[in-house]
Amino acid sequence: MADGTLKVGTITTSSGSGTINISPAVVFDVGTSHTIQTFTSGSGTYTTPTNCRAIWVRCVGAGGGGGGSGTGSQTSGSAGGNTTFGSLSALGGGGGPHSQAGGLGGAAQGASGGDFNCFGGTAPSMPNNSSPALYQNYGGSGGNSIYGGGGQGGSNGSGATGVAGKNYGGGGSGIGGNNTVYGSSGGGGGSYSESFINSPSATYSYAIGSGGAGGSVGTAGGTGGAGAGGCIIVMEFYV
C-alpha cells in the first residue's frame, strides 16, 4: 500500500462505489513494527511477544536422505522429520530407495493446518538393476522443498557420498556406483505450511524435523546424501 502499512481483517466490497472496507481494521507498519524469529532445530514452546497482534508462521518439513548404492548391504535413505507449530504440520520427505531397488525416488509428503499447504518435491525415479548399463554410474537428485535445494545427482564413483540437501527441506541425492552397480535414488523434499494468525495465543508448541540420513553403502557402492533439516519462520506484527 502507498502508506507502507499492512491492513488485516475481513474485506467487503461495494460494486457501486468501488470502495473496500476492512473490518475489524488492524493496521501494521510493515517497515518498523515487526520482528522475526527463525527456528532451525529442536523443539519447545514458542511464546508470543508482548503487544504482538498477529503472527505469520511458515513451516518446512525436513528432506529425506538419498539411498545408498552397492550390492549386499546397501540401504535406503531415511525419511525426513516432520515440522510442527501448533496445528500446522509440514511432513518430511521420503527416503530414497537404494540401488537395485529402483522405482520412484523419495516420495513427496503433504502438509496440513495452514492457510496454504503444499507438497514437497518428489525425487526423480531411478531404474532397477535390470535396466540398461547407461544408468550404472548415476545417482538421482534429491527433491526440492519450497525453497529449492535438493542435492544434485550425477556421476559418483565407488566409495563416494551423495550431495546433501542444501536449503531447508531439500532432499539428499542418491549415489552412483561402478560398472556393475546401479545408482540409487534421491530423497524427497519437505512439505510446506503457512498461516497468518490474528490475535495469536500466548504460546504454541513447536518441533523442527531433522534431515533424513543417507542410506549406507554396499559393496562397490557409495553412501546417499543426507537430507536438509526443516525450519520455522515466525514474523511478529505489533500495533
The count of domains in the chain is: 2
Q: What is the pLDDT of residues 196-232, one digit of tens each?
A: 999 999 999 999 999 999 999 988 888 999 999 999 9
Which residue has cell 526443516? 230
Please, which residues bridge with residue 237 across strands?
34, 54
Kind of pairing, strands 43-47 and 154-155? Answer: unpaired
For 167, the grid coordinates are: 536449503
Q: List Cβ neighbours of 3 (8 Å cut-off, separation of 6 or more).
A: none
43 and 9 in a common domain:
no
pLDDT confidence of residue 86: 97
Q: What is the pLDDT of residues 16-69, one digit of tens each?
A: 444 444 444 445 554 448 999 999 999 999 999 999 999 999 999 999 999 998
pLDDT confidence of residue 164: 96
pTM of the model: 0.84
Query: 153 pLDDT band (50/70/90 cuts)?
Result: confident
pLDDT confidence of residue 131: 54
- Determine how many CB atoms are found less than 10 A away from the CB of residue 226: 30
55 and 7 in a common domain:
no
Find out whether 210 and 22 touch, Cβ atoms under 8 Å.
Answer: no
Kind of pairing, strands 52-60 and 192-198? Answer: antiparallel
**DSSP-based three-state secondary structure for 89:** strand
9 and 99 in a common domain:
no
91 and 11 in a common domain:
no
- CA nearest neighbour of 181 among 146, 223, 233: 223
pLDDT confidence of residue 1: 40
For 26, the grid coordinates are: 488492524
19 and 101 in a common domain:
no
- Determine how many CB atoms are found less than 10 A away from the CB of residue 130: 8
Query: 94 pLDDT band (50/70/90 cuts)?
Result: very high
- CA nearest neighbour of 232 among 202, 200, 198, 195: 195
Q: Which amino acid is at 156?
A: N
How far is 175 from 186, CA to CA, in rounded Å? 8
pLDDT confidence of residue 134: 56
- pLDDT above 60: residue 157: yes
Please, which residues bridge with residue 198 across strands?
54
pLDDT confidence of residue 5: 45
138 and 22 in a common domain:
no
How far is 202 from 47, CA to CA, in rounded Å? 6
**DSSP-based three-state secondary structure for 134:** helix
Question: Dihedral, CA atoms, 194, 198, 201, 203, nearest 10 degrees?
Answer: 40
19 and 109 in a common domain:
no
Q: What is the pLDDT of residues 102-148, one digit of tens each?
A: 556 667 788 999 999 999 999 887 766 555 555 567 888 999 999 99
Q: What is the pLDDT of residues 178-192, one digit of tens each?
A: 666 778 899 999 999
For 137, the grid coordinates are: 554410474
How far is 177 from 26, CA to CA, in rounded Å? 59
127 and 189 in a common domain:
yes
How far is 82 from 94, CA to CA, in rounded Å? 11
165 and 68 in a common domain:
yes
Residue range(s) defining the domain that contains residue 214: 38-239
50 and 6 in a common domain:
no
21 and 56 in a common domain:
no
How far is 238 from 213, CA to CA, in rounded Å? 40
76 and 27 in a common domain:
no
How far is 175 from 101, CA to CA, in rounded Å? 13
